[in-house]
Structure formats: structure tokens, C-alpha cells
């Protein structure tokens, strides 16, 4: 009963706070549940868990917050999603309500077992990013808006594991940045463990790499932004911050 009540309250909190995150993943026809942030600690040792632990759908506001890497507390998962280089991984969200700001998918090499990998040692590279699709910064169509469905169905965010990426254990980090509050960016990151298979030998050069936290700061006009400022609101381009995407 208490468990039921707790998760019921969790749902209410989710709806009233109007935040969220990557709750599940799909690869082909296979569905992988993520860590339910209101589902309880028993998930920490669930042998099927592929997502790093997170316990609130609230955003992170600080660009130097250590939890920017894989949310809080970010404990490693027990297992990983097997995926071939060149295949898609789709992150699944529900009830996503924010509409303005970029969405970026990142990866980092776990240099061995992801279960013992500390993201302080991570060099992250982008595998995909989605921004302003058309129109203006304030009122135009962002992928984040198009992606959010309002009928209770899942919001799907597919990205491709670069085809030439060398096999190994990696984290995939899905990050939504919401910019609807002036000068108060909101970061929503979640990480999933993946085991990449294939014949590739590729790996991105240093120019594609970033530290997280580190890649963003409040001196960046794309991050510390007021989308309602007339000088900004009418612009029709938005440069997604960080290194270029490595497509392999
Ligand atoms: Cu929110």
C-alpha cells in the first residue's frame, strides 16, 4: 500500500511539476524499461536495469553541477542494451511539456565496464542534436515542441549509433535543455548503458570531445538566454552549443 501510495504521489508530483525525462528505450522491437525516479530503491539491484539512477524529474539549473553528467545520483546500472553500430536507439518520454531549446544525444566510452565507470573521467561526444526546425526562437517550431505529444502517448527521440564506432561499452546520454525561463536554463539528462557491437574501428578525435559538466557556462549566449528579449526572440537561427556532432 505504501509503495502504491508513494508511486501515486510520484505521478502527481510529475504532473504538477511538469518536468520529466527519458523513461524507457527501444532498439528495434525490444523495449527496455528505465529507472522509475519514483519507483523505489529496489531498482538499484534489478538485474535488468540499463539506466543510471535518477530520483526526481526536476531539472538541473547549474551548468557546473556534477549531476549534469547523468542526473542525480547517477549510480551505474546493472546491465546494458546490446546494439549494433549503425542502429537506432530511441529514448521514450511521456508528457513532455516544454517546447523551446535543444536536445542533444551524447556518448562516452566506459573504457571497460560501465558498472565501475565514473563520469568524472568521461570524454563525451555528440551523436545527434535537434534544435530550431523553423521560424523564430520564441515562437518557431523546435524539435522539442514537435516531439512532445499531448495525447498521453509516448514521445520518441531516435538517434543512430555511428556506424563506424568501435565496439565496446558506452554510455548514451540524452539531454533536453529547456529555455523557456529567461536566463534560467533547465537541464534534463539521463544516461543508459549500451554495449556496441560491430566491425567498426572508428572513434572521434579530440575536437569532438567535451567534459560534462564543463561544456556549458553562463557566459554562453545560447545557454544564458532570454528568448523573450526582442533582439533574441525574432532570430531564426539557434546555434546548439558544444562540439560538432560525430556521425562516424
Ligand atoms: Cu519542467
Q: What is the mean pLDDT of residues 51-80?
A: 98
Q: What is the mean pLDDT of residues 76-82?
A: 98
pLDDT at 152: 86
Q: Is residue 68 in some structural domain?
A: yes
Question: Which residues hold their Cβ within 5 A of ligand 1, which is an ion?
Answer: 18-19
Number of separate domains in the chain: 1
pLDDT at 150: 83
How many residues are listed for the chain in this entry? 248
Q: What is the mean pLDDT of residues 36-64?
A: 97
- Using the mean position of ligand 1's atoms as its centre, give its distance from the Cα of residue 97 in Å: 7
Would you say the C-alpha torsion 170, 212, 63, 135 has a positive or negative sign?
Answer: negative
| CATH number assigned to the domain comprising residue 63 | 2.70.50.70
- Using the mean position of ligand 1's atoms as its centre, give its distance from the Cα of residue 59 in Å: 7
To the nearest whole number, what is the mean pLDDT of the chain?
94
The answer to which of 7-11, 70-74, 96-100, 180-184 has the lowest mean pLDDT is 7-11
For residue 132, pLDDT over 90 is answered with yes
For residue 15, pLDDT over 60 is answered with no
State the CB neighbour count (10 A cutoff) for residue 36. 15
> At 4, is the pLDDT very low, low, confident or very high (cuts 50, 70, 90)?
very low
pLDDT at 5: 41
Query: Between β-strands 124-130 and 209-210, what pairing exists: parallel, antiparallel or unpaired?
Result: antiparallel
pLDDT at 179: 98
Q: Is residue 195 in some structural domain?
A: yes
Q: Is residue 155 in some structural domain?
A: yes
Q: Is residue 95 in some structural domain?
A: yes
Q: Is residue 243 in some structural domain?
A: no
Q: Is residue 5 in some structural domain?
A: no
Q: Is residue 120 in some structural domain?
A: yes
Q: Is the peptide bond before 162 cis (omega within 30 degrees of 0)?
A: no
pLDDT at 17: 56
Nearest in space to 72 (alpha carbons), one of 185, 191, 193, 171? 191
pTM recorded for the entire structure: 0.93
Q: What is the mean pLDDT of residues 212-240?
A: 98
For residue 52, pLDDT over 80 is answered with yes
Q: Is residue 240 in some structural domain?
A: no
Which residue reads 555511428 in cell numbers? 162
Burial of 151 from C-beta contacts in 10 A (0-12 / 13-18 / 19+):
exposed
- Using the mean position of ligand 1's atoms as its centre, give its distance from the Cα of residue 166 in Å: 36
pLDDT at 239: 98
Determine the structural domain holding residue 164 and report its residue range: 22-233
Amino acid at each position: 500500500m505504501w509503495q502504491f501510495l508513494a508511486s501515486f504521489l510520484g505521478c502527481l508530483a510529475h504532473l504538477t511539476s511538469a518536468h520529466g525525462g527519458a523513461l524507457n528505450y527501444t532498439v528495434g522491437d525490444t523495449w527496455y524499461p528505465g529507472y522509475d525516479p519514483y519507483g523505489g530503491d529496489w531498482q538499484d539491484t534489478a538485474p535488468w536495469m540499463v539506466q543510471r539512477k535518477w530520483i526526481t524529474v526536476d531539472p538541473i539549473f547549474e551548468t557546473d553541477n556534477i549531476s549534469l553528467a547523468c542526473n542525480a545520483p547517477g549510480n551505474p546500472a546493472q546491465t546494458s542494451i546490446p546494439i549494433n553500430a549503425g542502429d537506432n536507439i530511441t529514448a521514450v518520454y511521456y508528457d513532455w511539456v516544454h517546447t523551446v531549446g535543444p536536445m542533444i544525444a551524447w556518448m562516452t566510452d566506459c573504457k571497460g565496464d560501465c558498472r565501475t565507470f565514473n563520469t568524472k573521467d568521461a570524454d563525451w561526444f555528440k551523436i545527434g542534436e535537434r534544435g530550431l526546425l523553423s521560424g523564430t526562437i520564441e515562437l518557431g517550431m523546435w524539435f522539442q515542441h514537435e516531439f512532445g505529444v499531448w495525447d498521453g502517448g509516448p514521445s520518441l527521440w531516435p538517434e543512430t549509433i555511428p556506424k563506424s564506432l568501435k565496439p565496446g561499452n558506452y554510455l548514451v546520454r540524452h539531454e533536453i535543455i529547456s529555455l523557456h525561463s529567461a536566463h534560467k536554463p533547465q537541464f534534463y539528462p539521463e544516461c543508459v548503458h549500451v554495449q556496441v557491437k560491430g566491425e567498426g574501428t572508428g572513434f572521434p578525435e579530440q575536437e569532438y570531445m567535451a567534459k560534462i559538466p564543463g561544456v556549458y557556462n553562463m557566459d554562453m549566449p545560447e545557454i544564458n538566454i532570454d528568448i523573450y528579449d526582442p533582439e533574441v526572440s525574432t532570430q531564426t537561427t539557434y546555434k546548439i552549443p558544444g562540439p560538432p556532432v560525430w556521425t562516424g
